[in-house]
């Protein structure tokens, strides 16, 4: 009996590692890719010293940061200060438990998968708020307040976008959401929702042009101003891992997950996980492209966009989609 528990425990740990380790490695290469793409946009060369084409730059940076001294400000609330980056990191990895990379390639295929992802991504704000408050310093606190308001606002429209997709699928299970896109990817019939989701994902992950919580031109480094060394690394990893998570969510909801674009010969022999990866990389490239192209939004404009443009439009689209599905009797099951 104890032997069985041991074996099952090992299998669970192996499954977790099989997801977490590739995610962390892809974070390292995402940081490298971001620096390289931004450099190309700005006609620079980017990292090119460490390793061939500078490909090991992220690992060098991580090593440098981890070996530095971890400074905890004397006026800070120490327990919350240390907990904040850990929570950010854990939450950005927790979401990966339900992501289906290919048919059957999922750690936990729960039937409320999309709700779970939504819940985990909405918890991400706690790391930021706790960091800002515990630092006991003005800039991080302002960053935390901005982030709280921003993430709550954009979550509302993300929720409506998810509802629209669910109306077309009839299930909250992520694998079923992917399988429902066998005829056509939802990005085509629900194109406006796809765009809204992508922009809200930018706001949800605090990426440019919505990175007001860390806004270096007004808030030094925003909520992680006081962080150094390993705790900074945790924030950094957490932020990029949640960026990849949001891209995977976009791919699953709108770009057909592991499905090939057309179910024809040379395309459908490619393994599903390759298609999934290619699509996620495409969305991540869009994230970086947007960063290199658009100026930062002003805070009131950000709020206006969330509450006065996205919210009414996505609400209207939910009503329109359900009306359409009922009228043409196309509701799933």
Partner 1 sequence: MEIDGSKKLLKIFISIENIDRMVLYSLTFYLFSSVAVLSALMVISAKNPVHSVLFLILSFVNASGLFVLLGAEFLAMILVVVYVGAVAVLFLFVVMMLDINFVRLREGFLQYLPFGALLGIVLVIELGILFLTDRSSNIYNNQTPLQPIVNEVENTKMIGQILYTEYFYLFQICGIILLVAMIGSITLTLRDKGGVKRQNIDSQNTVDASTAIEKKKVNIGEGI
Contacts with partner 1 by CB under 8 A lie at 1, 4-5, 8, 12, 77, 80, 103-104, 106, 108-112, 115-116, 118-119, 122-123, 125-126, 129-130, 133, 141, 144-145, 148-149, 151-152, 155, 159, 171-173, 175-176, 179, 300-301, 304
- Tokens 């765009």 locate to 195
Instruction: Please identify, using beta-carbon distances, which residue of 11 and 21 lies nearer to partner 1.
Output: 11
Least distance in angstroms from the C-beta of 73 to partner 1: 17
Indicate the residue among 19 and 55 with the shorter CB distance to partner 1.
19
Phi-psi region of 259 (alpha: psi -120 to 50; beta: other; left: phi over 0): beta
Contact 117, 25 (CB under 8 A): no
Within the chain, what is the greatest distance between any pair of CA atoms? 65
Helix axes 229-254, 125-134, angle to 10 degrees: 160
Q: Residue 118 or residue 258: which is nearer to partner 1 going by CB?
A: 118
Q: By C-beta, is 62 or 158 nearer to partner 1?
A: 158
Q: Which of 26, 2, 7 is nearest to 273 (CA)?
A: 26
Q: What are phi and psi of 282, to 5 degrees?
A: -60, -45
Q: How far is the CB of 308 from partner 1 (least distance, A)?
A: 9
C-beta separation of 198 from 154 below 8 A:
no
Residue 319, C-beta contacts closer than 8 angstroms, at least 6 positions apart: none
Closer residue to partner 1 (CB): 141 or 197: 141
51/170 with CB nearer partner 1: 170
Kindly tell me the sign of the dihedral angle through the C-alpha atoms of 207, 210, 216, 219: negative
Half-sphere exposure of 281 (CA within 13 A, CB side): 10
Burial classification of residue 327, based on how many CB atoms lie within 10 Å of its CB (0-12 exposed, 13-18 middle, 19 or more buried): exposed
Q: Which two tokens stand for residue 63?
A: 């090593």
Q: Which is nearer to partner 1, 162 or 193 (CB)?
A: 162
Give least dist CB 1 to partner 1, A: 5
Q: 106: which 2 tokens?
A: 């999922």
Angstrom distances, CA of residue 29 to CA of 177, 244, 283, 290: 29, 11, 15, 18
Sequence-distant (≥ 6) Cβ neighbours of residue 323 within 8 angstroms? none
As measured in angstroms, the least distance from the Cβ of 110 to partner 1 is 4
Query: What minimum distance in Å lies between the beta carbon of 90 and partner 1?
Result: 12
Least separation in angstroms between residue 301's CB and partner 1 is 8
The nearer residue to partner 1, 22 or 332, going by C-beta atoms, is 332
Q: Report, in Å, the least distance between residue 123 CB and partner 1.
A: 6
| Beta carbon of residue 87, minimum distance to partner 1 (angstroms, whole number) | 10
């Amino acid at each position: 009996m104890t032997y069985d528990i041991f074996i099952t425990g090992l299998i669970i740990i192996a499954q977790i590692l099989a997801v977490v380790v590739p995610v962390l490695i892809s974070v390292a290469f995402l940081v490298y890719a971001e620096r390289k793409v931004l450099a190309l946009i700005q006609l620079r060369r980017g990292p090119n010293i460490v390793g061939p084409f500078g490909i090991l730059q992220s690992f060098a940076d991580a090593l440098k940061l981890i070996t530095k001294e971890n400074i905890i400000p004397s006026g800070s609330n120490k327990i919350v200060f240390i907990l904040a980056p850990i929570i950010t990191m854990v939450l950005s990895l927790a979401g990966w438990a339900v992501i289906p990379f290919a048919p059957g390639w999922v750690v936990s295929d729960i039937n409320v998968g999309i709700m779970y992802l939504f819940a985990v991504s909405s918890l991400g704000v706690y790391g930021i708020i706790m960091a800002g408050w515990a630092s006991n310093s003005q800039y991080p606190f302002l960053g935390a307040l901005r982030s709280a308001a921003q993430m709550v606002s954009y979550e509302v429209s993300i929720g409506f976008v998810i509802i629209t997709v669910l109306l077309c699928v009839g299930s909250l299970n992520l694998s079923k959401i992917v399988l429902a896109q066998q005829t056509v990817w939802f990005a085509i019939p629900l194109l406006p929702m796809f765009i809204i989701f992508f922009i809200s994902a930018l706001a949800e992950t605090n990426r440019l042009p919505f990175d007001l919580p860390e806004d270096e031109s007004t808030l030094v480094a925003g909520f992680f101003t006081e962080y150094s060394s390993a705790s900074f690394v945790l924030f950094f990893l957490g932020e990029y891992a949640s960026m990849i998570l949001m891209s995977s969510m976009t791919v699953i909801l709108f770009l057909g997950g592991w499905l090939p674009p057309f179910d024809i010969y040379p395309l459908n022999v490619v393994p599903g996980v390759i298609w999934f990866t290619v699509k996620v990389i495409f969305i991540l490239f869009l994230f970086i492209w947007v960063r290199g192209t658009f100026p930062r939004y002003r805070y009131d404009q950000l709020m206006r966009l969330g509450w006065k443009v996205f919210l009414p439009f996505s609400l209207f689209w939910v009503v329109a989609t359900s009306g359409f599905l009922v009228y043409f009797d196309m509701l799933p099951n």
